Amino acid sequence: MSGQRKRLVMKFGGTSVANLDRIRRAAKRVGVEVAKGYDVIVIVSAMSGKTNELVGWVNEISPLHDAREYDAVVSSGENITAGLMALVLQEMDVPARSWQGWQVPVMTTSAHSSARIEEIPTENLATKFDEGMKVAIVAGFQGISPEGRITTLGRGGSDTTAVAFAAAFDAERCDIYTDVDGVYTTDPRITKKARKLDRIAFEEMLELASLGAKVLQTRSVELAMRYKVKLRVLSSFEEQSDDAGTLVCDEEDIMESNVVAGVAYSRDEAKMTLVSVADRPGIASAIFGPLADAGVNVDMIVQNISEEGRTDMTFSCPVDQVLKAERAMQEAREVGSINFHDLIADTEVAKVSVVGIGMRSHAGVASKMFKALSDENVNIKVITTSEIKVSVLIDRKYMELAVQALHDTFELEKA
């Protein structure tokens, strides 16, 4: 592999390649980077709506489908985009070739529809770059299992593919093109004062992504943080420039950061309380073990002060997992591993969080947050904190009010 070459990874999401005109526009962006002297690896998603259509067909034919055939079908959307993008670039006289996951090869685990990337050998692509290829268009979201079957990485997997390629090929940067022009202090649809961030630290982005911000897939941020891959989030529909979008980078690369970087929210939360469980060693394991086995994503956990050997245990989970949680708890009760008086589900709550690496060195963020919510008469049901975030569970009807109030309180509109 030539050590002199500059490498860039560019990833285009579904809306960026939704039709032939958008694929042509994306290809022009690639052409600009090639003209700057980069060897470019382009990761593409399926055209907008295509994956949903393919999933629908599979479910219609076979609701309890063979996971290997599911992957074979749903991975095909990315293959189409890759081939079309290669043809457009060739028409522009840019030497380009499309690559499916198995041709690279992207080596993954055998967990169909949620595989994890194990390794990306660089020899095949490197050889072609040495022979004059300028652009490799790789179908995102897919790989090959040790058994030689096509696998997919789960929803949002193309982001992860892009970061993994940037790490494997030691790329200068990984540009994620999407339908938003960067990472904002909060959702601009909730407050007009939301400001686009020029830079954000990996840890902050990871928290925002896991707390509900939909800009980047959590796994892709984890990977970028581990391998120190500079990520840039930018819009396919804005003018191309070197300082567009938001750079997700190491904390050290940010000169001066605000105490709070952003306000995240998750609308579809539920609060569940097991009333009067035994307050004894092992009770938490007896509750959360069956929930984990049932695939319930438990988030916040609060144990109330116990009385006479009994306690209440409260936890939050996504609204669409409430039935699973209720079933798991009833089954645990039937086999005698836990006993409780009642299970109360509140499905009308939302989670609102403030995030910022500046919290590590600044006291008083939580109290400022609680006062802002109190001033708006918003009642807090559950609180959790970490080194760089404070999350609260509140009634869903107050969610937008809470986000706006916190955005104002921490003056996030100011750079």
Give alpha helix (H) positions in 211-321: 218-227, 283-293
Q: What angle do CA 353, 356, 358 make, to 5 degrees?
A: 140
Same fold, 6-179 and 263-409: no
Segment 240-285, tens digit of pLDDT: 776 788 999 888 887 767 889 999 999 989 999 999 998 888 999 9
What amino acid occupies position 313?
M
What amino acid occupies position 279?
D
- pLDDT value, residue 1: 42
- pLDDT value, residue 2: 45
Instruction: Return the structure tokens found at 367.
Output: 């109290």
49: left (phi over 0), alpha (psi -120 to 50) or beta: left
351 close to 299: Cβ distance less than 8 angstroms? yes
Number of C-beta neighbours around residue 367 at 10 A: 10
Residue 115 has pLDDT above 90, yes or no: yes
Distance CA(118)–CA(181), nearest Å, equals 31
- pLDDT value, residue 154: 87
- pLDDT value, residue 181: 85
> Which value, in Å, is the radius of gyration of the alpha carbons in the chain?
24
The CATH architecture to which 263-409 belongs is 2-Layer Sandwich (3.30)
283 close to 291: Cβ distance less than 8 angstroms? no
391 close to 383: Cβ distance less than 8 angstroms? yes
Higher pLDDT, 180 or 380: 380
Instruction: Return the structure tokens found at 403.
Output: 């986000």
Residue 3 has pLDDT above 60, yes or no: no
Whether residue 188 is preceded by a cis peptide bond, meaning omega within 30 degrees of 0, is no
Segment 142-162, tens digit of pLDDT: 999 999 999 999 878 899 999
- pLDDT value, residue 163: 96
The class level of CATH for 6-179 reads alpha beta
The model's confidence at residue 236, banded by pLDDT at 50, 70 and 90, is: confident
85 close to 17: Cβ distance less than 8 angstroms? yes
74 close to 40: Cβ distance less than 8 angstroms? no
Q: Any idea where the domains of the chain sit in the sequence? A: 6-179, 263-409
Q: Which residues contact 66 (CB under 8 A, 6 or more apart)?
A: none
Q: Name the percent of the chain lying above pLDDT 70.
A: 98
Q: What angle do CA 216, 219, 223 make, to 5 degrees?
A: 105
Distance CA(70)–CA(239), nearest Å, equals 38
Residue 22 has pLDDT above 70, yes or no: yes
Residue 186 has pLDDT above 50, yes or no: yes
What number is the average pLDDT over the span 358-381?
Answer: 92
Higher pLDDT, 233 or 156: 233
Beta strands in 326-388 (DSSP E): 342-355, 380-386
- pLDDT value, residue 360: 86
Among candidate residues 106, 194, 191, the one with its CA nearest the CA of residue 151? 106
Number of C-beta neighbours around residue 147 at 10 A: 8
364: left (phi over 0), alpha (psi -120 to 50) or beta: left
Residue 129 has pLDDT above 80, yes or no: yes
